[in-house]
Amino acid sequence: MERFVVTGGSRLTGQVLVPGAKNSVLKLMAASLLAPGTTTLSAVPDILDVGVMADVLTALGATVRRDLAAGSIAIDTPAMPGAAADPALVRRIRASVAILGPLVGRRGEARVALPGGDAIGSRALDMHVNGLRRLGAVVDIEDGALVARSSGRLQGAAIWLDFPSVGATENLLMAGAVAKGTTVIDNAAREPEIADLCEFLTEMGAGIEGIGGSTLVIEGVDELRPVTHETVPDRIVAGTYAIGAVMTRGDVMIRNGRAEHLGIVLEKLTAAGASVETGADGFRVSIQDQPRSIDVVTLPYPGFPTDLLPQIIALEAVSQGISLITENVFDSRFVFCRELLRMGAQLRTDGHHVVVRPASRLVGASVVASDVRAGAGLVLAGLVAEGMTEVHEVHHIDRGYAGFVENMRALGADIRRDQVTAAA
């Protein structure tokens, strides 16, 4: 077990490079199952979840070669991948459910254990199941696994999602890409990672219209071809460093960050008093005075992303004035608040709202990361707390942030990674 030890008082300054998006690359890897041969992805972040997904694909018969130095991964998919995913691997990351659509679409059968991942609330798979059924698959739960079967090729259909679910949109996109005829997904998720997957499938030979919109029209093809593709930059990683710059009254150039993917986030930081400058190579965030409080409501894209909720709560804990934060996507995001209270934050949760009042100070404490983004938020809080903060369960942070300690240190943070002994 490891922990991050953060000593507060440093101002983040300098530049940081944003890698490819965790929330995209894992789905691109799953989509490689749709085409026999070698698919190559670049701008692949060096995070734990990529390794787990590589193991999932390997267990299905693919050969995966990862070049950490080059930030690339090559996936050689066999003519007929396996149908049953390794349950132990699937339960480690939520994104593993993304293999469901490609497998049932490609080989007519898939068995995927109900997935694990972050402890941030219930994320039902009803829309995945109902959508696949609309495409002609028979889907059941057997022995703790989703089992989907199709007696022949999937058939295109009109599908309406009750909520713009990212995961359901992705699975149905991938299944529809090899279904016979036209598939229409209404109320589809619009995240940049969805657009990246659409562009990837288009390069592979699928016909997709409406990319970036809430209605996607997919013309299925008999077979797809392997391609080389660059992963879209990680907007959540970029947003985390941007919020860190504002919290520490710093000045950070976020290279390879796409400001257009963080529209409402950067608007909120500007309202808090930050200066945001965009350029061809990314964007710069700076501030000199204590940030002002802002109200935030999380919503599906292009709304404020739920994956930046812990970080923005940490910011509000050291801002002027009272703020109201509302979470509309996951029902257990506020688990993070219990840890922030240990550091002296003045906040109160009520259902899916949290009211944050300015604290006279935050103080270092021993806290636990319950998920990827909560861990990042606790590190940011530690940057502005008095004394030393120990963040435990940092494997969560490693699941989504490549080189987090090294990047923070390069920006001037006093942070290190330590082994936790039994006595600790």
The residues with which 276 forms a beta bridge, in sequence order, are 285
pLDDT tens digit at each of 424 positions of the chain:
899 999 999 999 999 999 999 999 999 999 999 999 999 999 999 999 999 999 999 999 999 999 999 999 999 999 999 999 888 888 888 788 999 999 999 999 999 987 654 443 445 688 999 999 999 999 998 888 889 999 889 999 999 999 999 999 999 999 999 999 999 999 999 999 999 999 999 999 999 999 999 999 999 999 999 999 999 999 999 999 999 999 999 999 999 999 999 999 999 999 999 999 999 999 999 999 999 999 999 999 999 999 999 999 999 999 999 999 999 887 667 889 999 999 999 999 998 999 999 988 999 999 999 999 999 999 999 999 999 999 999 999 999 999 999 999 999 999 999 998 765 5
**DSSP tag of 37:** E
d(CA 254, CA 285): 8
Report the residue count for the chain: 424
Ligand-binding site membership of 76 (annotated): no
Residues with Cβ within 8 Å of 276's Cβ and at least 6 positions away in sequence, in order, are 242, 259, 266, 269, 270, 283, 284, 285
Q: Which listed residue (118, 196, 234, 398) is catalytic?
A: 118
- Annotated active-site residue 118? The verdict is yes
> Do the domains 2-18+233-419 and 22-221 sit in the same CATH topology, yes or no?
yes
CATH classification of 2-18+233-419 is 3.90.1300.10, yes or no? no
Residues with Cβ within 8 Å of 5's Cβ and at least 6 positions away in sequence, in order, are 388, 389, 390, 391, 415, 416, 417, 418
Enter the tokens of residue 145. 């696994």
Enter the tokens of residue 351. 């259902």
Enter the tokens of residue 72. 């690339």
Sheet containing 145-149: which strands, arranged edge to edge?
109-113, 145-149, 138-142
Would you kindly state where each structural domain of the chain is located, as residue ranges?
Answer: 2-18+233-419, 22-221
Q: Can you spell out the DSSP letters for 237-288?
A: HHHHHHHHHHHTT-EEEEET--GGGGHHHHHHHHHTT-EEEEETTEEEEE--
Ligand-binding site membership of 139 (annotated): no
**DSSP tag of 165:** -
Q: Can you spell out the DSSP letters for 58-78?
A: HHTT-EEEEETTTTEEEEEE-
Residue where the block lists tokens 């066999």: 78
Beta strands in 358-413 (DSSP E): 366-368, 388-392
d(CA 374, CA 76): 35
CATH code for residues 22-221: 3.65.10.10
Ligand-binding site membership of 22 (annotated): yes
